């Protein structure tokens, strides 16, 4: 895998050819798709082929469809959607004597789904004796329910979404799966082992893989201090308007601490400064987009880290697995 730093126009030129770009999240794929369309318009074009810009899960869906069309063994199994997957876990718990001892076993379904995905993505050995140790009833309970879940899936010909990676990797190794000539990856902080196994298989099969990053814009850094948070938002909105008028078409990013609680204040200031004539017209499209990231405490890895720290002081409840 090679690393390459491209200007946005160079990346779009690549996408106009036989190039597939896989993003680390759906939002990045959507933003790049919009910017690509704007770039084609600036080139004086009125129609063009949809670029191959896909989030990782969307790209896996495409590979899975190709595997089914190619007759890959195992690709004929049904892959449950999120609601179906939760339902399968709820059935697993509902039919289990150990789970019936809990007050609300169905509430565990989403946590068990997420835990199993992490285990599969990070290629943990689910048959390791550590899962069966009596000294940790949480590990043993998860291992027990996971075996019951997998048995249910086998009986009814379901394949959990996370299990596709191993099957697709084997299909690439065997040469039976159609693959792109060139693949770009953007927006990934790291690759978990199951991802890396698939990417390594593609690379060994002759696919050219690039880890793409965009050329940062040149600029300076300025620090200023506002009187209070209200003036700070007002100055921010005026600054955004100034640069949007100075450099039309430029994308401007604003990072706001505690955005979840301050969103209304932020949008009110942007509306008053950027669109004063239509501030009260909800039918008009806003020239900005607000995106709230996932709180760190809800990121699975961070949440697990806090659970481990809490475990040093006290036992972890079975429902917190």
Residues 315, 317, 318, 321: is their CA dihedral positive or negative?
negative
For residue 289, the model assigns a pLDDT of 82
pLDDT tens digits, residue range 190-207? Answer: 999 999 999 999 999 999
Residue span of the structural domain in which 268 resides = 223-290
Last residue of a domain, one of 188, 214, 240: 214
| CB environment 110-130: b (16+ within 10 A), e (fewer) | eebbebbbebbbeeeeeeeee
Co-location of 153 and 167 in the same domain: no
pLDDT tens digits, residue range 62-89? Answer: 999 999 999 999 999 999 999 999 999 9
Q: Does pLDDT of 260 surpass 70?
A: yes
Co-location of 70 and 186 in the same domain: yes
Q: In the structure encoding, which two tokens stand for residue 228, read together?
A: 């209070």
Co-location of 40 and 170 in the same domain: yes
Q: Does pLDDT of 307 surpass 80?
A: no
Q: How confident is the model at residue 99 (pLDDT cuts 50, 70, 90)?
A: confident
Q: How confident is the model at residue 40 (pLDDT cuts 50, 70, 90)?
A: very high
Question: Are the C-beta atoms of 3 and 211 separated by less than 8 Å?
Answer: yes
Co-location of 133 and 264 in the same domain: no
Co-location of 116 and 14 in the same domain: no
Q: How many domains does the chain have?
A: 3
Co-location of 167 and 193 in the same domain: yes
Co-location of 61 and 192 in the same domain: yes
Co-location of 102 and 237 in the same domain: no
């Amino acid at each position: 895998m090679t690393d390459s730093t491209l200007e946005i126009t160079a990346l779009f030129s690549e996408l106009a050819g036989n190039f597939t770009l896989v993003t680390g999240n759906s939002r990045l794929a959507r933003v790049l798709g919009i910017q690509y369309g704007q770039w084609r318009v600036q080139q004086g074009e009125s129609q063009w082929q949809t670029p191959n810009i896909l989030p990782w899960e969307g790209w896996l869906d495409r590979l899975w469809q190709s595997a089914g069309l190619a007759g890959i063994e195992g690709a004929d199994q049904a892959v449950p959607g999120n609601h179906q997957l939760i339902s399968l876990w709820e059935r697993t718990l509902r039919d289990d004597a150990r789970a019936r001892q809990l007050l609300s076993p169905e509430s565990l379904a989403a946590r068990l789904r997420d835990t199993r995905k992490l285990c599969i993505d990070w290629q943990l050995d689910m048959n390791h004796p550590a899962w069966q140790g009596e000294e940790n009833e949480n590990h043993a309970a998860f291992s027990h329910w996971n075996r019951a879940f997998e048995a249910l899936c086998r009986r009814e010909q379901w394949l959990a979404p996370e299990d596709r990676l191993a099957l697709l990797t084997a299909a690439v190794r065997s040469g039976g799966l159609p693959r792109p000539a060139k693949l770009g990856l953007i927006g990934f902080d790291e690759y978990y082992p199951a991802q890396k196994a698939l990417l390594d298989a593609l690379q060994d099969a002759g696919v050219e893989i690039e880890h793409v990053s965009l050329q940062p814009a040149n600029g300076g850094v300025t620090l200023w201090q506002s009187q209070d948070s209200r003036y700070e938002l007002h100055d921010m909105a005026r600054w955004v308007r100034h640069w949007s008028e100075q450099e039309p078409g430029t994308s401007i990013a604003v990072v706001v601490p505690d955005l979840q609680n301050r969103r209304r204040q932020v949008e009110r200031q942007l509306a008053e400064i950027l669109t004063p004539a239509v501030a009260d017209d909800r039918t008009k499209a806003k020239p900005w987009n607000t995106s709230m990231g996932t709180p760190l405490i809800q990121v699975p890895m961070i949440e697990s880290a806090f659970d481990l720290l809490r475990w040093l002081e006290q036992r972890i409840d079975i429902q917190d697995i």
